[in-house]
Amino acid sequence: MKLRTQLMIAFLTFSIFPIVFAGMLISVDKLFLLYQFDDFGPEMRSMVIQMLVSGMFLLGFISAALTMWLYRSVVRPLNKLQEATRKIRDGNLDFTLEVDDDDEIGQLCQDFEEMRIRLKRNAEEKVQYDLENKELISNISHDLKTPITAIKGYVEGIMDGVASSPEKLDKYIRTIYNKANDMDRLIDELTFYSKIDTNKIPYTFSKINVESYFGDCAEEVGLDMESHNIDFGYENHVSEDVVVIADSEQLKRVMNNIISNSVKYLDKPRGLIYIRITDVGDFIQVEVEDNGRGIAAQDLPYIFDRFYRTDFSRNSSQGGSGIGLSIVHKIIEDHGGRIWATSKEGVGTKMNFVLRKYQEVTQYEQNIDH
Ligand SMILES: Nc1ncnc2c1ncn2[C@@H]1O[C@H](COP(=O)(O)OP(=O)(O)O)[C@@H](O)[C@H]1O
Ligand SMILES: [Mg+2]
């Protein structure tokens, strides 16, 4: 039975029936009550009847008001709730459930409204996620296609006998090797990215001596830059005994990703990349500076977001998935560090990150702590 019918029945029971019953009592002249008190006289009798009648009307009025009140506070919000549920069932989440009261049903409506907002947010996130995934797939296809096309071209050249001299052949094979390496790096990035998504990065932390680690790194990068014809500089201002706790392989990934961006976004005839390590109290700061095309101020806050690429990068023929810096950000965060970028469009970019120094706790300090 509907709540409205139940309320109607309650209303009738509380008001109409007593009125009818009283009416019957009054209309019957041989009223038991009045018959008993016959000696009251006609005035007294009419007064009692009047009292009875007005009492019945008052009862009827109160009962009607109560029923209306119940109807307004229960049935109306329930109807709204029902309508909202139907909308959600049909996949419509673009509405607002107005909550007027703060009683139990009002609370229920409020909870429902919060649930709707959360569902809407989830649905929007899913759409965004799907869009990003589609974009990622299209970027990856582009990125894989570019080296494969080059490899095919060079292999065909070799097959057709274009690489006539041993030098030419050597150059072709070297290019094929480099292109295969590009593909390898991209696939590696993607595998790593899927691990980030599921929070399954296999870290192996160990103590790393800053001077020797970044010294080796600079040597390697220096050789690479030489082959790219880019000027390279390295400075270390950290004393030789400074140690950090880090995963050397992942830190290498961080440096590689940052430096490969610097190389990729160079636009000057004479490229310049500079690595600087400084001591900033409890932390060491690593700076990678380039004189590339720079990043516009409006893009700067977003470059560490996954899939984010500036309009220029998106429109350029250079491939890229926009996940390189999100990986870097995640790794530095997992090391308890912080990363940020400063840049000037057309002038260059400086990537900075800090890592906490490892401080040996001496026996004396341990004793003080306890
Ligand atoms: N050194 C840099 N110089 C200029 N722009 C950069 C540099 N590093 C990053 N960016 C910008 O930040 C964006 C995000 O970088 P990243 O996550 O590595 O993606 P991707 O290199 O795949 O485009 C790049 O698309 C680029 O626009
Ligand atoms: Mg990149």
User: Mean pLDDT across the stretch 31-46?
Assistant: 63
Q: What is the arithmetic mean of pLDDT over 19-46?
A: 65
Helix axes 248-264, 324-334, angle to 10 degrees: 150
User: 143 CB under 6 A from ligand 1?
Assistant: no
Helix (H, G, I), strand (E, B) or coil at 344: strand
Q: With bands split at pLDDT 50, 70 and 90, how would you rate the model's confidence at 138?
A: confident
**Residue 335 phi, psi dihedral angles, 5° rounding:** -95, 5
Q: What is the pTM of this model?
A: 0.63
- For residue 96, give the amino acid letter: T
Tell the residue nearest (CA) to atom 1 of ligand 1: 262
Fill in the DSSP letter of residue 94.
Answer: -
> Residue 35 pLDDT > 60, yes or no?
no
Evaluate: CB of 210 within 6 angstroms of ligand 1: no
Q: What pLDDT does residue 124 have?
A: 94
- Beta strands, E only, the chain: 206-209, 231-236, 243-246, 272-280, 283-290, 338-344, 348-356
Cα separation, 168 vs 151, in Å, equals: 15
DSSP, collapsed to helix, strand or coil, labels residue 276 as strand
Point out the ligand nearest to the CA of residue 349. Answer: 1
Using 50, 70 and 90 to split pLDDT, how confident is the model at 74? Answer: confident
Pairs from 178-187 (Cβ < 8 Å, separation ≥ 24): 179/147, 179/148, 179/150, 179/151, 179/154, 180/147, 180/151, 182/147, 183/144, 183/147, 183/148, 185/260, 186/140, 186/143, 186/144, 186/319, 186/321
Which of 3.40.50.1860, 3.30.565.10, 1.10.8.640, 3.40.190.10 is the CATH number of 206-356?
3.30.565.10
Residue 176 reports pLDDT greater than 70:
yes
Q: Residue 294 region, left (φ>0) first, then alpha (ψ -120 to 50), else beta?
A: left
Taking alpha carbons only, the member of 318, 331, 323 closest to residue 286 is 331
For 245, phi then psi, to 5°, come to: -95, 115
- Can you name the residues that pair with 277 across neighbouring β-strands? 236, 286
DSSP one-letter string for 293-343: S---TTTGGGTTSTT---HHHHHSSS---S-HHHHHHHHHHHTT-EEEEEE
Q: Hey, which residues does 234 pair with through a beta bridge?
A: 275
Residues 87-125 pLDDT 10s: 999 999 999 988 877 788 888 999 999 999 999 999 999
Assigned CATH for 135-197? 1.10.287.130
- Residue 151 is predicted with a pLDDT of 93
Mean of all residue pLDDT scores within the chain: 86
CA of 305 to the centre of ligand 2 (A): 12
Lowest-confidence segment of 66-70, 140-144, 227-231, 325-329 by average pLDDT: 140-144
Q: 322: Cβ below 6 Å to ligand 1?
A: yes
Per-residue pLDDT for 30 more than 60? no
What's residue 94's pLDDT? 92
Query: What pLDDT is attached to residue 228?
Result: 87
Residue 196 has pLDDT above 60, yes or no: yes
How far away, in angstroms, is 5 Cα from ligand 2 center?
Answer: 68
For residue 77, pLDDT beyond 70: yes
Residue 325 in contact with ligand 1 by CB distance below 6 A: yes
**What is the number of other CB atoms lying within 10 angstroms of the CB of residue 149?**
11
- Distances 41 to 27, 35, 36 between C-alpha atoms, Å: 18, 11, 12
Tell which atom from ligand 1 comes closest to the C-alpha of 262: 1
Output the pLDDT for position 146. Answer: 82
345 Cα–ligand 2 center, Å: 17
CA of 268 to the centre of ligand 1 (A): 16
pLDDT at 155 over 80: yes
Tell me: pLDDT of 33 over 60: no
- The CB of 303 under 6 Å from ligand 1? The reply is yes
- The answer to whether the CB of 307 falls within 8 A of the CB of 132 is yes
pLDDT level of residue 82 (50, 70, 90 thresholds): very high
pLDDT at residue 14 tops 80: no
C-beta atoms surrounding 65 within 10 Å? 10
- Tell me what the mean pLDDT of segment 318-345 comes to: 89
Distance from the alpha carbon of residue 312 to the mean position of ligand 1, in angstroms: 10
Greater model confidence, 316 or 370: 316
- Whose atoms come closest to the Cα of 341: which ligand? 1
